[in-house]
Amino acid sequence: MTPLPRLVVVGNPANRRVAYFRDAVRAAGLPEARVEPWLDVLRDGGRFHPGETVRLESPGEDDDVERLLRGTDDPTRVEGTARWYEAFTAATGRLTRTVAGAGAVLVDDPAETAVLFDKRLAHARLREAGVPVPDSPTSGADGAPVRGWADVRSLMAASGMPRVFVKLAHGSSASGVLAVETNGTGRVQATTSVERAPDGRLFNSLRVRRYPTEQEVAAIVDALAPDGLHIERWLPKAVQNGRAADLRVVVIDGRATHAVVRTSRSPMTNLHLGGARGDLGAVRAAISAAGGRWTDALEVCERAADAFPGTRCVGVDLLPAVGWRRFAVGEVNAFGDLLPGLTGLPGSGAEGLDTYAAQVAALLNGNNKGTTRTNITTSTTRTTRTTGTSTT
């Protein structure tokens, strides 16, 4: 009889993500999952033991961890993601060696996590795998450099893209994302959650705002460019009840198990930025009425996940085109499973299970073989969300 895995979660002990996972482990009748704090991992590599199965959780939403990763005492700042990425990938590299040396096993491949946290590299991998993605002149290691607003303007013109998303290469949760629009008269404006202080510093905000002049947009882009930027064509989205709509689809062991519709009056549909959950049944009906199949939409997400075979769970941002006939993948998120209270899709094998319980079930059915995949059969508005987390 195969022994039950001894699970360890590398995370921030007070974080709700860690609590959800430990609750799922407990509900499955497994021994209590041990927590190895990110602070310990960052300081000395952490401590692991033979036979343990180690799952990495988001390092976000902890001020002390942010301070170590980003080198700033203000976790609401937007700048600093390049330093965060360098420190995070160095830490996961050391963690890989520490875990292997202890005779333990990692659930996911940190090398893939590093790709997922670089939008330029992740976009290129999806494109090379034949997954539909928005056009991008910055995709891949040999993509066009973006040294500031002048480069963005030039690339938009050269690529025939009057509307683009400018994203921090290493950002998440819409941190530092600008939805930039131009028109025939030369006017430029951008919609973003970035709050620009009078002294030029940039902060994350829970309020989406619009900067209506090119001077303001250029100042923000120039401040973010040293951290690395990625540019994508702004695809018009389908609409539900007068609001732009997309989907977050969780894929576990190659199978789409959970989905939520996100709607918004702004280009950013993230729920923490004022987005709202939409009607999944209405989406399925709209796809069918347009002559499409819901299973085709899920298949696009599964293909996106297959581009990262060493990562057992990802959250795929699926962008439905106007008319609900075509779909593209906006991003694949390493920590995209934070969907509290959402149970599995009918026929997914995860019915009645939330995203964390479904992952525990997958680990059990996977016979504790690390990254081997199996299908499941069972201002006052400033925010600390910057990097290391994905919030729908």
CA separation for the pair 367, 201 (Å, rounded) = 49
Alpha-carbon dihedral of residues 358, 361, 365, 371, nearest 10 degrees? 60
With vertex at residue 326, the alpha carbon angle to CA 320 and CA 328, rounded to the nearest 5 degrees, is 60
Residues 47-60 pLDDT 10s: 999 999 999 999 99
Q: How does residue 330 score in pLDDT terms, banded at 50, 70 and 90?
A: very high
* Single pTM value for the model: 0.93
Q: How does residue 357 score in pLDDT terms, banded at 50, 70 and 90?
A: very high
Residues 24-76 pLDDT 10s: 999 999 999 999 999 999 999 999 999 999 999 999 999 999 999 998 888 89
Residues 254-272 pLDDT 10s: 999 999 999 999 999 998 9
Instruction: Report the pLDDT averaged over residues 126-131.
Output: 98
Does 3.30.470.20 match the CATH number of domain 237-365? yes
Domain ranges of the chain: 6-114, 149-233, 237-365
DSSP-derived secondary structure letter, 5:
P
* SS3 state of residue 160: coil
Share of residues in the chain with pLDDT > 90 (%): 87
CB 69 within 8 A of CB 388: yes
CA separation for the pair 191, 211 (Å, rounded) = 6
Looking at the DSSP bridge assignments, the partners of residue 262 are: 246, 277
* pLDDT for the residue numbered 376: 44
* pLDDT for the residue numbered 183: 80
